[in-house]
Structure formats: C-alpha cells, structure tokens
Structure 1
Amino acid sequence: MTIQTAVAAVLLALTATFASAQDATIRVAVQESGTVNWELDTIKHYGFDTENGFTLDVQGMAGGDAAQIAFQGGAVDMIVSDWIWVARQRAAGADFVFIPYSRAVGGMLVPANSTAQTLADMKGRKIGIAGGQLDKSWIILRAYAQQEYGFDLATETEQVFGAAPLIMNAATTGEVDGAINFWHFLARMKTAGMRELISVDTAAAALGLDPATPLLGYVVRGDMLRNQPELVAGMAKASAAAKAKLASDTAAWARLRDRMRVDDDAQFVALQNGFNAGTPAPGAVNLDAADKMLKVMADLGGTDLVGDVTALPDGLFYTPAE
C-alpha cells in the first residue's frame, strides 16, 4: 500500500466516522420553559443519550408553534406535541410518528371557599382556560358536562382564555370562579390553596375513555424511523431511563430545582409528584382507546382541532420492539 493510498484510507475512515457521529445526533426543539426540559436535562446529565447510541442536541424555542415550524421545515429532528396534532398532520399527508412521553393532564380548580361541588355548579360563572378554545382538557370537560348534567359549559359559562401564567394569577386572585390549566400550573395553584373540582382523568373515565392514553409525546419523521430505527429506539429508551431515574432518585430532582423555578418546598414536591404520575405505561398505545378519544375531540373541536382526520391514521404511534 502506497503512502497516498494509506492516507486516503485514513481520511475515508475519518469522514465515515464523522458522518456517523453526525447521523447519531438527535436535534430536538422544545419550548424553553416546558417541563419536558426536566427530562431532557436528565437524559443529558446522566448520559442516557450516549448510553443508547446517540447525542441529544436540545434547542430551546420561544413556544410550541416555533418548534413545530422548525420541525416541519427540517431544521430539527424532533419536537414534543400531542398526538391529535400528529394525527391531523398525518391525515394531511405528513409522515410524522408519535412516541409517548406523558399522560399528565389537567382539570378544573376552584377557590378553597367556593360553593361549587360539581361542574353543574359552574353554570353562570366565569372560567379561566389556558390553551385556547381547542384545549383538550376543556373539550373533555365540556363533553363530560353534557353527558352528566345535560348542558354545554361553552354556552352556560363565561370563559376567559389566556396564557397559563395569566390564568393561574386570575384564579388565585379571585378574578375567575374556576380555572382549567396545564398540569404543572395546577400543581402550583393547589399549593396556593385552590382545590380540584374535577380532574380530566375522572371526566375521561366517565366518558368511557382510557385515562392512561398518553396525550403528549416526542414527534419524529417516518423516514427517520425507517432509515435509523436504532436512533428512535434509543430515544425511547433514554426517555424511559430518565423517567425511572426521576421516579427513584431525589438527588436527580434536587439538581433540577433551580430550573423548575419553584417558590417553596410544597411546589417542588407537587411538581415532582405530578411529573412522575404522568409517566405512560410501557408498551404500545391502545388504539381503540385513542380512537374513542379522537371521536370526542372531533365532535366538539371539529375540523378546527382535528383537520381532515376521520379515523385514527395508520402508523401514528411508535411501537417499541419487544
């Protein structure tokens, strides 16, 4: 072998190694203040990414919409979203796949001294809602009120829609009579003295839905799953490892405390418990349960929420290898 041939072989090997390393990076775009960062930080800190054959590159975004734009434009490999959005995109021709991340959902809280005991007591009252008119928790609670009490919350109450922190402030200061918010804001609101009128889990079960159905997940492109299945499997394993760490090691939470921006120990504990409770069951998503949930969303949210989806799209959910 000549020197030139040897040098060429070395350069080729280095190039291949570099390309492989590049291919083994998963770029994920998430909202900078989102709770998913607790898991992603844990994955990076404890090396669960490299342990599972990839390097995690977390890119903070101002909001979920910005992350979706980056993902749809090919700037990143993964985002976090709910599977209703993924189903809508898939029905429109996008080849996106959902990897379950969390089943944590919200509910409705009222002040501790409120006279309301059920949703029926909210008639004529003002409700603050984070997430907009198509918020999934709001839709499930509307469906529950119709089934159990025969009225639509949307027509029988006054709604105030706003960002989660604003709704939390309005609820804790008495500007609204009840509030529907994201789970981590609800945890903070409970420690401030509010009580739960009804959880989305309870409402979902009464509607015949499975509360164990995960709503949030990591979203990847189908070609990544086909061409690099080991990367997708590695991310799923790293996510599970991080959840297991957070469920069993208080030190893992202690190092995240500053990032969680808690006001006191009560909030810190409530957020830990809420996050851990949202861990989805291992294995495949129950398709029948997901299809029932989709129908509820379509009935009340219409095309504004589900788009052209008329049935659960094939290939929507990632199924881990046995």
Structure 2
Amino acid sequence: MRLIQIISMALAVLAGQSLADDLPTIRAAVLKIGTVNWELATITDNGLDRANGFTLDVQPYADNSATRIAVEGGEADMAVADWIWVARQRAAGKDYVFIPYSKAVGGVVVPEGSPAETLADLAGGKIGIAGGPLDKSWLILRAYAQQQYGMDLKAETEQVYGAPPLIFKSAMGSEYAGAINFWHFLAKNKAAGMRQLISVEEAGAALGLDTNTPLLGYYMKESFLADHPALAQRFFDASRAAKDRLASSDDAWAAIRPRMNAATDAQFEQLKSDWIAGIPDRAPVDEAATGKMLSLMSDLGGPELVGEATSLPAGLFADVK
C-alpha cells in the first residue's frame, strides 16, 4: 500500500509538472530597480500567473532602452511604458498593444518651509526636472500654469534637467524652488518633509483630463497575443489580483519591502500609500479621454514627443476588462 501511495504521489507531481510545462510563458523585460517589480513579484510569489493560465518570467535590465530593444528584438514579450510612447510606436507601424498598469504620476514638491502656495510662486526660481524638456508631467504643469495664472512656466523659471536620482538628491538639498520627478522619488522627498505643491493629477483634472486614465502600462506585440488567445486578459487578471492583495494586505507589502529600497519606515509608508493611490479603476480605457490627452501632448510636445500619433491609433488598447 505504501508503494502505491508513493507511485500515486509521483504521478501527480509529474502530471502537475506536465501541465505547468504546457502553459504559455510571458517574458517580461523590466528595469532592474523599477517599481513594477513590486507587482510582478506579488504575481509570481503567490502563483497568480499559473492560477491564471500562464507562467511569468521576469528578466531584469539595466535601463528602459534595453527593455524596449528586448521586446522589439524578440528577446522578451512584454515591457512597461506610458501609453503615449506606445501610441507613437503603433503609429510608426509597430504592432504594440497596451495593457493598463498604473495611473501614478508625479508632481511638484517644494522644500520644507517654502512659502510657495501655487506654481505662480515659483517664478524666478529654479525647477529641477527629471525626464527632460518633453517630460509629460512638465508639459501638463506648463499647460496648467498657463490656464490658471496666465503664466509661461518655462519662460518665468530656470529649468535644470537631470536623471531622477540626481533631481531627488538636489531637491533634498534645497537647490531648487521646486522639483518635478517620477512618483516614487517624490514619495521619498515627501517622506523627508518636502511638501507637494500640486500633483499632475490635480493639474490634469483642471485641464479637463480624465485623472483615472492609466498612464503606465504593459505592452506586448499583437503577433505574440495572436499566438496565445486570451493571454492579455489572463495577464490582466493576474495583475489585478496582485493589486487587490497589495491594496488590502500589510503582509503583501512586508513580502516585497526588501525590493523597495526604502531607507526608513517613513519612506516605506509613503511609497506604499502612493502606489496604492495609483491603482486605476478596473474598467476599459476611455479612448475619448486618452484622445484628448494625446491632442494636448501633441500641441505641447509636437512630433518630437508623439511622432506620427497625432490621433489615437486604432487598436492601441488591449481588449481587457
């Protein structure tokens, strides 16, 4: 009887392994230190990929350019970008489709004790900007300042461009009247006592943009998805299951804290809070709203930003719900 039990268990393990081997694999090219790893680790560590009919293979890269080259060259099946970049690629003929991930965006922080109350109060000062002159947060804030205060934010301030870590450190040293950075660097600035003057979300709302639009997402090739029917929805379901865990479980955050590069408890709590705030509603992307935002980006950034995507390319957003 004991031998029969052992044989049965071995067969069950082999059957399970065979089933797993039959699952399609999604090779995800990600920035090694990117915050998307928090969600992807939650997926793999909790078996949410296999539970949804695929296996996730996370491949770390040194920079975002490398992740994009990996997808384009067929070394990976998926990477992360904002939908405006994906729209530009699709308009140029690439068969990329976008799956929503996050609506987390940056904003402007000012030093602790700064008297500034609005963007207008930054006139004459330096603004540190991560991402360069075509950074989408910077462009939206420029449009907001023009609408609200009749202010040309570019002309009335001095811009200092730099890599996100450099802008973060310089802002902590009070070198700028204000700083614009990616959301997770701003979270650390706020944890250290800096004050958010205005978020891009607030500015976008004032401009009539849909603030629930997920700016960031995963993108895959249509050709890859055509070979794996329903895989986009399966991945999206796993992504949403991970979000649900992180939105409701302290244990889920404790599990990924070693990945978060949070030097203090204050940083950890701010990163956690801001990440959860970036979870978009589970709903199809509003194409009318994204078309309006693309039009604004085209007006402000021109072809250098949007390329040939002067209107929303058909089929940009994956059919997930």
TM bin, normalised by shorter chain, reads over 0.9
Correspondence list, 1:154-193, <5 A = 154-193=154-193
User: Is contact 1:224–1:232 with CA below 8 Å preserved after alignment?
Assistant: no
Structure 1 residue 230, shift from structure 2 partner: 2.4
1:34 corresponds to 2:34: yes
1:201 corresponds to 2:201: yes
User: Is contact 2:32–2:61 with CA below 8 Å preserved after alignment?
Assistant: yes
Give secondary structure in 1 for the equivalent of 2:302. helix
Number of the residue aligned with 1:4: none
Deviation sequence 1:146-180 (CA, Å, 0-9, x none): 11111221121111111111111111101111100
Q: Which residue identity is paired with 1:243?
A: K
Q: Distance in 1 between matches of 2:66 and 2:152?
A: 33
Structure 1 residue 117, shift from structure 2 partner: 0.9
TM value normalised by structure 2: 0.92
Structure 1 residue 21, shift from structure 2 partner: 3.5
Give secondary structure in 2 for the equivalent of 1:255. helix
Q: Which residue identity is paired with 1:94?
A: K
Unaligned regions of 5+ residues in structure 2, if any?
1-13
Q: Which residue identity is paired with 1:34?
A: G
Structure 1 residue 319, shift from structure 2 partner: 2.2
Structure 1 residue 278, shift from structure 2 partner: 0.7
Structure 1 residue 290, shift from structure 2 partner: 0.3
Q: Which residue identity is paired with 1:209?
A: L
Structure 1 residue 273, shift from structure 2 partner: 0.9
Structure 1 residue 226, shift from structure 2 partner: 2.5
User: Is contact 1:109–1:195 with CA below 8 Å preserved after alignment?
Assistant: yes
Give secondary structure in 2 for the equivalent of 1:256. helix
Correspondence list, 1:117-128, <5 A = 117-128=117-128
Deviation sequence 1:195-251 (CA, Å, 0-9, x none): 011111110011010111110000011122333122221111110011101111101
Q: Distance in 2 between matches of 1:198 and 1:131?
A: 18
Q: Which residue identity is paired with 2:209?
A: L
User: Is contact 2:127–2:158 with CA below 8 Å preserved after alignment?
Assistant: yes
User: Is contact 2:20–2:50 with CA below 8 Å preserved after alignment?
Assistant: no
TM value normalised by structure 1: 0.92
Correspondence list, 1:45-56, <5 A = 45-56=45-56
Unaligned regions of 5+ residues in structure 1, if any?
1-13
Structure 1 residue 309, shift from structure 2 partner: 1.0
Q: Distance in 1 between matches of 2:317 and 2:250?
A: 32
Deviation sequence 1:21-70 (CA, Å, 0-9, x none): 37601000010010000001110100000111111000001111110111
Deviation sequence 1:118-139 (CA, Å, 0-9, x none): 1111111100011111111111
Q: Which residue identity is paired with 1:86?
A: V
Number of the residue aligned with 1:95: 95
Runs of 4+ in 1 over 3 A off after TM superposition: 17-23
1:74 corresponds to 2:70: no
Number of the residue aligned with 1:140: 140
Q: Number of matched residues?
A: 306
User: Is contact 2:23–2:53 with CA below 8 Å preserved after alignment?
Assistant: no
Q: Distance in 2 between matches of 1:216 and 1:172?
A: 26
When residues 315 and 19 of structure 1 are mapped into structure 2, their CA distance, relative to the original with a 3 A threshold, is farther
Q: Distance in 2 between matches of 1:218 and 1:22?
A: 23
Greater mean deviation of Cα atoms: 217-226 or 203-212: 217-226
Number of the residue aligned with 1:290: 290
